[in-house]
Amino acid sequence: MQNILVKNLIVDFDVLNNDGNVISKKRAIDDVSLTINEGEFVCVVGRNGSGKSTLAKCLNALILPSSGDVIINGLNTKDENNTIDIRRQIGMAFQNPDNQIVASIVEEDIAFGMENLGISSEIMDERIDESLDSLGIKELRYSLTSKLSGGQKQKVSIAGILAMKSKILILDEPTSMIDKNGRNDLLDRVKKLNKEENITIILISHYIDEISYADRVIVLNNGKVTMDDTPKNIVLRQKELSESGIILPYIPRLATVLRDNGKNLKGNEFTAEELCQFLK
């Protein structure tokens, strides 16, 4: 019941000079191997240029391996005949939802992906309602997509993926355009999809606070996986995190300092309430 299998993945990009000739290669992903199982909620973190987005694009065959393999439910991305099936199974929400919204009305935008799959209009109708409802934006069904806020757009683009019944959802920094309130709301919804509908979530983020939503955190640095652990464990490995260019989230960072000053804390507390326990 393996969902995603990445074996010795290497991705090289061409570096071009001003005339468009290849002058060298840059290694974006450097021998990555990992398995992500069905229903997992994985957060991938790393500094700018660590290979996060490249890895994500390898999973749905937008980028093909220079060597190694990416296998999604038994389908190798290298085989062109698999591409359409793979993209049906993996939905991807990009950083900027404006790049992804195609229609002028929300329901049309959500229908777009389903139309391409040849789904009947009755089923479409149901699924539009369902997917909007699961993200808490049912009332936006007939709204103009151009009038939505950043957070609303992001939810609409995710609803479009859900409506296609993708079992794997990749979110590439979905919250970089929205405030903390909207972030928490979006991630609560995503978490619910993960728990209730068993949808595999791969969240790419550099809001390090967001790791608390995940079951598992993968840290990338210079194209390599440097850490792979639970959120509670990973924040205790501060030295390795900083070697990968990652600063602890606010509360674990404070908890760690307090622990080192003799307070009764572990250093992996994530909420204000947990942090203040040491006073009791």
Partner 1 sequence: MSILEVKNIKYKYDKYNESSKYALNDVSFSIDESEFTALIGESGSGKSTLISHLNGLYRADSGDILFKGKSIYDKDFNLTNLRFKCGIVFQYPEYQLFSETVLEDVAFGAIKKGLSKDEAYKKSLEVLKMLGIDHLKDETPFNLSGGEKRKVAFAGVFVMDPDILIFDEPDAGLDPVSKDQFYKLLKMLNQKYKTTIIYITHNLDDVIEYANKVIVLKEGTVLKEGKPYEVLTDKEIMSKANLDMPYAVEIYYELLKLGRKIDISKLKFDELKETLIGLK
Interactions with partner 1, residue window 79-98 (CB under 8 A):
95
* 133 Cβ neighbours under 8 A, 6+ residues apart: none
Tell the smallest beta-carbon distance from residue 197 to partner 1 (Å): 26
Q: Among residues 78, 98, 150, 224, which is the contact residue for partner 1, using CB under 8 A?
A: 150
Q: Among residues 83, 176, 222, 238, which is the contact residue for partner 1, using CB under 8 A?
A: 176
Binding status of residue 267 toward partner 1 by CB under 8 A: no
- What are the φ/ψ torsions at residue 237 (nearest 5 degrees)? -100, 60
DSSP character for 50? S
- What are the φ/ψ torsions at residue 264 (nearest 5 degrees)? -80, 75
**Cβ nearer to partner 1, comparing 112 with 278:** 278
Binding status of residue 22 toward partner 1 by CB under 8 A: no
**Cβ nearer to partner 1, comparing 110 with 178:** 178
**Cβ nearer to partner 1, comparing 83 with 176:** 176
Candidates 29-37, 56-64, 175-183, 229-237: pick the segment binding partner 1 (CB under 8 A): 175-183
Q: Cα(81)–Cα(72) distance, rounded to whole angstroms?
A: 13
Q: What b/e readout covers 70-98, taking b as 16+ CB neighbours within 10 angstroms?
A: bbbbebbbeeeebbeebbbbbbbbbbbbe
**Cβ nearer to partner 1, comparing 184 with 238:** 184
**Cβ nearer to partner 1, comparing 50 with 89:** 50
- Runs of H (alpha helix) within the chain: 52-59, 83-89, 106-117, 121-134, 150-163, 180-197, 231-234, 238-243, 250-260, 272-275
223: left (phi over 0), alpha (psi -120 to 50) or beta: left
Binding status of residue 103 toward partner 1 by CB under 8 A: no
Please give the single-letter amino acid code of residue 60.
N
Tell the smallest beta-carbon distance from residue 246 to partner 1 (Å): 7
Candidates 97-105, 119-127, 159-167, 248-256: pick the segment binding partner 1 (CB under 8 A): 248-256
- Nearest CA to 36 out of 4, 70, 1 is that of 4
Per rule CB under 8 A, count of chain residues that contact partner 1: 39
Interactions with partner 1, residue window 25-64 (CB under 8 A):
46-49
Binding status of residue 273 toward partner 1 by CB under 8 A: yes
Interactions with partner 1, residue window 183-242 (CB under 8 A):
184, 206, 208
Concatenated DSSP letters of 128-173: HHHHHHHTT-GGGTTSBGGG--HHHHHHHHHHHHHHTT-SEEEEES
Binding residues for partner 1 (CB under 8 A)? 15, 18, 46-49, 95, 149-151, 173, 176-182, 184, 206, 208, 245-247, 250-251, 253-254, 257-258, 261, 263, 271-273, 275-276, 279-280
